[in-house]
Structure 1
């Protein structure tokens, strides 16, 4: 069957959502279906890829969000969907694409909304008072407008379960266990950024307000204050980069800003080489970057406010609050024997193969598997 997926807030080159869409599309195709992805971009394009057909429709940039674009032309999107004659629609944006559930119902197409984030968490960025009330209202309408709601963690599902939503299912995302592996560890890369006795830390992700990257700098400050010879690598770009660079320089913190890493092999080597990674974002629903780090044999410190504690299990540590708690969590991980903590990280990641995610999504679509969906 033809499964048309529509997503907003997809970064041009990287990001967890882009990764998830690519692996799911490739899995749908391997299972004998016809996946089509519609995303926003600077101009129209239409190409065949390993994840199926990818159609880009013009969409404006979101101000001060570091490259995100939106599909706002409903007429053009509706016309495109109608021309595709989908059997299923899969939507990845609860804020601006909720209307597609009603479109699908009018055209007798089964629809799915995928929750890649906590709506209440996103709304809290604009003020805590109305977040829960407004979130409940929007979530109830979303559930009513779509045949299926898919959440990737229990944490994300909780805001729907509280409403008694009957059409809810949980399907974890996955990780590429062949690409991200401890075998990618590179001593030469390590010596480029740190002395032999240094503790090498990594913050990997967009440098934007909702990701709370300052917590990683604060953790570094408190670790060095405690006598830990830590060095922080920051891999990623975003609107806060200049401010973070200035802050690190003003505080004389050993932070190396690597920017967006375009070479997949270099990123995989980096994840396998550092001692501990920090993922401090409080509204992460699944955190593919953290899971890729675990697959690389590196433990992760995450925010206790996010969904990541249930993803990392005992292979990492969840930290509450701000920088001091993250510094303490890093020290907790470093106190474990290196071989033990690295093996535990890899073992935890192996619980999340992509082929299991593909099978779960197809089951939620009520789509049969026409061919074996092996490892992706």
Structure 2
């Protein structure tokens, strides 16, 4: 079976979704299963990924709002007969098409379902949700009850009907789809958690030299408590709470707490300004760490990992920290609860004080810390990419089989479908 995947959540330094698709391409090559990926780029091109994988880069403009490092494939790339995505579909003839986008690309599935594309056999259509539409709308400052109702209407009447089946990266993400379903557009929703490179991240990558560099840049002692955040610096990540957390923790000779931020994004200038004003000298903004092995050293060399976002759809970063043998502090809400619990992490109230209290409790309990870190390592092993991707590809096969057999009469044949 050949699968083709389309997303706008991609640029050279992007995070979770890019990590997911790269892991899927590795799995496709290991299994001998053809997989194709279409992503936006500054220039068009094709990259062969092993024997069975291929990435199509389609020229696209920059995103107009939020994070202009991203580019956006707009509907004109698939609506017209000679559009780039139609040409790729005709060349590849996928059995299953997965779209990871709720804004511009989801309508491609609708075109294939209702109209069809000349010369393209109708594939099984899957929508992959790696974020919640209502949370994204709230980030823009639109959080009134009427806006939330509009978001639910969009999900139930516009987004959901485009696809045959839906996948979501956590129960938290899936809940939005399930709550928005309406009788005339019911769809199956399957939860498919993301994974972690358990072979890349581990405590053995701890680096004394890296800690010395942190110490030098922060003018802090080597035995200071170095707390790590790794990820995209965006407003929806609620990263200002990390600054507030430091404010709640007294800085004295008995315990120096410093924050190392490994990442970049549109919110970086505001965070730098806040740190300089509120906790001067206590935050090191390192920037994006592109090399995965270098990132593994960051995780393993820190003393704790704090993830402040209570609306995280899933959160690969905390899983990478768990694999690295690092105590993990996360909010008691959101998609991180797919794997984080009081047995393997510290669940905090999603406030400045809540995060600070959890960090303080963790530092004061060495025996409990060791037990939870060991449990976290076992958790990360269960979410290793080879197991996760195998389950996802098995689900693709099952959904495609179902559309062709059990659900065959549910979906009308598109008007222009290749027969």
Same fold (TM > 0.5): yes
From 157, 166, 175, the counterpart of 2:174 = 157
CA contact (8 A) 1:221 1:253 kept: no
Per the alignment, residue 182 of structure 1 pairs with: 203
Per the alignment, residue 91 of structure 1 pairs with: 99
Q: In 2 relative to 1, CA 96–332 (structure 1 residues): closer, same or farther, beyond 3 Å? A: farther
Alpha-carbon deviation of 1:312? 1.8
Per the alignment, residue 133 of structure 2 pairs with: 119
**Misfit runs of 4+, over 4 Å:** 225-228
For 1:168 and 1:28, the matched residues in 2 are separated by 23
Alpha-carbon deviation of 1:253? 4.0
Q: In 2 relative to 1, CA 365–320 (structure 1 residues): closer, same or farther, beyond 3 Å? A: same
Per the alignment, residue 250 of structure 2 pairs with: 224
Matched, 1:170 2:191: yes
Alpha-carbon deviation of 1:255? 0.7
Per the alignment, residue 35 of structure 1 pairs with: 35
Per the alignment, residue 268 of structure 2 pairs with: 241
For 2:251 and 2:133, the matched residues in 1 are separated by 37
For 1:171 and 1:102, the matched residues in 2 are separated by 23
Per the alignment, residue 404 of structure 2 pairs with: none
Deviations 1:56-76 (A, max 9, x none): 001111145141111113333
Matched, 1:128 2:143: yes
For 1:96 and 1:318, the matched residues in 2 are separated by 36
Q: Which has the larger radius of gyration?
A: 2
CA contact (8 A) 2:46 2:56 kept: yes
Aligned with 1:55: secondary structure?
strand
For 1:66 and 1:198, the matched residues in 2 are separated by 36
Alpha-carbon deviation of 1:153? 1.2
Deviations 1:278-297 (A, max 9, x none): 11123321111111111111
CA contact (8 A) 2:36 2:55 kept: yes
CA contact (8 A) 1:61 1:67 kept: yes
For 2:274 and 2:178, the matched residues in 1 are separated by 41
> How many residue pairs get matched?
368
Q: In 2 relative to 1, CA 160–39 (structure 1 residues): closer, same or farther, beyond 3 Å? A: same
Alpha-carbon deviation of 1:109? 1.0
Aligned with 2:326: secondary structure?
coil
CA contact (8 A) 1:104 1:110 kept: no
Deviations 1:134-188 (A, max 9, x none): 3322322333221110112111111222245441111111111110111112233
Alpha-carbon deviation of 1:79? 2.8
**Structure 2, unpaired ranges of 5+:** 216-220, 400-419
Aligned with 1:5: secondary structure?
strand
Aligned with 2:340: secondary structure?
helix
From 153, 157, 163, the counterpart of 1:137 = 153
CA RMSD of aligned residues (A): 2.1
For 1:310 and 1:88, the matched residues in 2 are separated by 27
Aligned with 1:123: secondary structure?
helix
Per the alignment, residue 291 of structure 1 pairs with: 319
Q: What does 1:205-216 correspond to in 2, within 5 Å?
A: 205-216=231-242
For 1:66 and 1:329, the matched residues in 2 are separated by 35
From 61, 69, 75, the counterpart of 1:67 = 69
Per the alignment, residue 2 of structure 1 pairs with: 2
Per the alignment, residue 386 of structure 2 pairs with: 355
Q: Which moved more, 1:44-53 or 1:339-348?
A: 339-348
For 2:330 and 2:21, the matched residues in 1 are separated by 23
For 1:366 and 1:98, the matched residues in 2 are separated by 21
TM-score by length of 1: 0.91
CA contact (8 A) 2:341 2:347 kept: no
For 1:79 and 1:292, the matched residues in 2 are separated by 38
CA contact (8 A) 1:204 1:235 kept: yes
Alpha-carbon deviation of 1:341? 3.6
Q: In 2 relative to 1, CA 108–293 (structure 1 residues): closer, same or farther, beyond 3 Å? A: same
**Structure 1, unpaired ranges of 5+:** 369-376
Alpha-carbon deviation of 1:26? 1.8
TM-score by length of 2: 0.82
For 2:370 and 2:211, the matched residues in 1 are separated by 17
